Structure 1
Amino acid sequence: MAAKDYYKVSGNSIERANQFCPRCGEGVFLAEHKDRRSCGKCGYTEFKK
């Protein structure tokens, strides 16, 4: 994904489209899957309910 796909711009505000990894910190996004969110760097996984 390109960097522009990680953010949403509306007017003068910028919002993150995905969450940051709680282990790696800001700058490393969690990938969105159908049933989970996962970090490609450290392997952290959150399962959706």
Structure 2
Amino acid sequence: MAAAKKIKNKVTSKKYARYKSGVGDGFCPKCGPGIFLAKHKDRQTCGKCGYTVFNTK
């Protein structure tokens, strides 16, 4: 029989590193967990349903 091949560990791609979510807050209250709110300068907006939260100073 042939000897078993060794499996090499692949280096993970940095391609999707920018799509990681941060802390985990910013979910849309209407759509539920898994739908994040986009952070703008003066507001947070859901791209799916249009829900908007304005930042207060």
Q: TM-score normalised to the size of structure 1? A: 0.69
What number of residue pairs does the alignment pair up?
40
Residue identity matched to 2:29: P
Structure 2 residue runs of 5 or longer lacking an equivalent are: 1-15
For 1:3 and 1:28, how far apart are their aligned partners in 2?
13
Rg (Cα) greater in structure: 2
Runs of 4+ in 1 over 2 A off after TM superposition: none
State which of 12, 31, 34 in structure 2 corresponds to 1:27: 34
Residue 3 (structure 1) aligned to one of 6, 19, 29: 19
| Identical counterparts, % of pairs | 55
Of the three residues 34, 50, 53, the one matched with 1:46 is: 53
| TM-score using structure 2 length | 0.61
Structure 1 unmatched runs, 5+:
8-14
Q: CA RMSD in A?
A: 1.8
